[in-house]
Amino acid sequence: MQENEHVIKQLRSLVDDGKCRTDADSLQLFGRDWTKVVDPAPLAIVFPSSREQVQAIVHFANEHSIALVPSGGRTGLSGGAVAAKGEVVVAFDYMNTISDFNPVDRTLRCQAGVITEQLQGFAEEQGLMYPVDFASSGSSQIGGNISTNAGGIKVIRYGLTRDWVAGLTVVTGEGEILELNNGLTKNATGYDLRHLFIGAEGTLGFVTDATIRLTRPPKQLSVLVLGVPDFESIMNVLGAFQQKIDLTAFEFFSEKALKHVVDNGDVKRPFDGVAPLYALLEYEVQTEENEEEVMALFEHSVEQGWVTDGVMSQSEAQAKALWRLREDISETISVFTPYKNDIAVCVSKVPEFLNEVDAVVGEHYPDFEIIWFGHIGDGNVHLNILKPDDLPRDDFFNQCAKVSQWVFEIVKKYGGSVSAEHGVGLIKKDYLNYTRSSTEIAYMRAMKKVFDPNGIMNPGKIFD
């Protein structure tokens, strides 16, 4: 106990007054993410206000063999930001400045604690757009987005976070400050270490600042929600529309998912009919010909039996309301303690893959409610299993772990990923070998040893 008190006293000296917390509420709040599988138990929470303070914290941690866990918006779903073994949590909430906007390069600098929505709003004020977007944009932070290479709802058009990071400042596990790529578009000077830190979940070092690229906003967005009979039809619709128009999003969700959203009371059904599955398409409308083309594609899809009903937004307000059918799913099912799987395969393999997974889960656990939704346009789907009210949490998670193993065996069969956009963290590390070969994992371990020789940076995440 005295040793812990000494450590905490030293930590207080490394950050601004009042920026080291040890009260129970802070330990619970900042020691976890959205996962509920592992209970948080950090030693302390520190809030640096500069990269130099982050560097001082890392040096101190190396000297005293203290493990560090990064904390951003804590919206992760793989336990990557959970501190369960007395670690010190490094929270970036006070590193939230946007600076150095450059209209020629269409870039800006932002600190790791900038909230995604804050960055999007700043870009909009400049007549530009930061296109990486997801349901948690109001609370997720840029540092966390970078550390998990976040994707979201616009990947089909705009790609992942990785595609918008022009430069990084990081503090490595040894406490070295690295300036990576300096915002350059072209830079053929050896290894691009920037991309090692993107998606590394804070296991190599901590992102403190980033140079972010922006783009022009779409002129006018319209949303189309379609009722669809099966997975094969969804992919037929995707193929037909992609041949003619540039989609900014192509999402799907099941009737079970929609029912939870509607039952919550804030959102209405898109149309009177009920379908097993729904597709949500978003696209940019530049001319009247675009609208006519969309209507022709819709009619063709109905004629082919791929679509049973549909609705097209007639205003920006209606477009936002239709988006809520998809974006409100995670929040409305959260009360059921869902067990989440975030998986991906090549787009062409999606129908066969989903049918196989659905059959396996339905056969072994017919009493579990299965909720499907996701970014099917880029091959990423979310499998959510809801906990029955009368089943204890631990028993439920143990049974779902068996489900995961069966699902991941199918993922491996199709050459897919056990974690498309949520990272590996604590929850997925036992399944890493289903996506990565033993040789790849050995190289990953070796890279961690180079940047974090003492193993203090987010230990136990990705692999032990």
* Contact by Cβ (8 Å): 278, 253: yes
- Calculate the dihedral angle through the C-alpha atoms of 315, 319, 320, 325, rounding to the nearest 10 degrees: 140
Output the pLDDT for position 66.
Answer: 97
- pLDDT, position 2: 61
Same fold, 221-330 and 337-439: yes
pLDDT tens digits for range 276-297: 999 999 999 877 788 899 999 9
Q: Please tell me the pTM assigned to this model.
A: 0.92
Topology (CATH level 3) of domain 337-439: Alpha-Beta Plaits (3.30.70)
**What's the pLDDT at 365?**
77
Q: Give me the architecture of the 98-213 domain, per CATH.
A: 2-Layer Sandwich (3.30)
The better pLDDT of the pair 111, 366 is held by 111
Least confident of 107-116, 207-216, 321-330, 385-394: 385-394
Q: What's the pLDDT tens digit per position in 410-437?
A: 999 999 999 998 899 998 999 999 999 9
User: What does the pLDDT look like over 170-207, one tens digit per residue?
Assistant: 999 999 999 999 999 999 999 999 999 999 999 999 99
Mean residue pLDDT across the chain: 94
Where along the chain do its domains lie? 2-91, 98-213, 221-330, 337-439
2-91 maps to which CATH number? 3.30.43.10
CA distance 414 to 312: 34
Q: What is the pLDDT of residue 1?
A: 58
pLDDT reading at 17 higher than 80: yes
Reference 260, options 215, 324, 321; nearest CA is 324
Check whether 167 has a pLDDT greater than 70. Answer: yes
Geometric angle at alpha carbon 326, from 321 and 328, rounded to 5°: 80
**Using one digit for the tens of pLDDT, what is the confidence trace for 49-104?**
999 999 999 999 999 999 999 999 898 888 999 999 999 999 999 999 999 999 99
Q: Return d(Cα 426, Cα 34) in angstroms, integer.
A: 12
Rounded (5°) CA angle 350-355-360: 130
Q: Is the pLDDT of residue 23 over 70?
A: yes
The topology (CATH level 3) of 221-330 is Alpha-Beta Plaits (3.30.70)
